[in-house]
Amino acid sequence: MSSVLRRCEVLKRLGISKSTLQRWVEAGHFPRPMQIGPRAVAWPESDLTVFLANRQRTGGVE
């Protein structure tokens, strides 16, 4: 199983705010998180890797 990243780690790695992440998810620019608890979400680390590779290739998200 691949590792998962909690929201705080995703925010730190991307260097963005919580509201920016939410906006990207709602717009379909970033993968939806999976629910890992009643008040906790996470993303597979592979999703972040793919996102960053695509972002580097295309030059941005918005």
From first to last of the 62 residues of the chain, give the pLDDT tens digit: 569 999 999 999 999 999 999 999 999 999 999 999 999 999 999 999 999 998 888 776 65
Q: What is the pTM of this model?
A: 0.84
* Per-residue b or e along 19-47, where b marks 16 or more CB atoms closer than 10 Å to that residue's CB: ebbeebeeeebbeebeeeeeeeebbbeeb
Q: Hey, is 37 helix, strand or coil?
A: strand
Q: Which pLDDT does position 61 carry in this prediction?
A: 64
Which helix (DSSP H) or strand (DSSP E) does residue 51 occupy? helix 45-58
Which helix (DSSP H) or strand (DSSP E) does residue 43 occupy? strand 40-44
Report the distance separating Cα 59 and Cα 42, nearest Å: 25
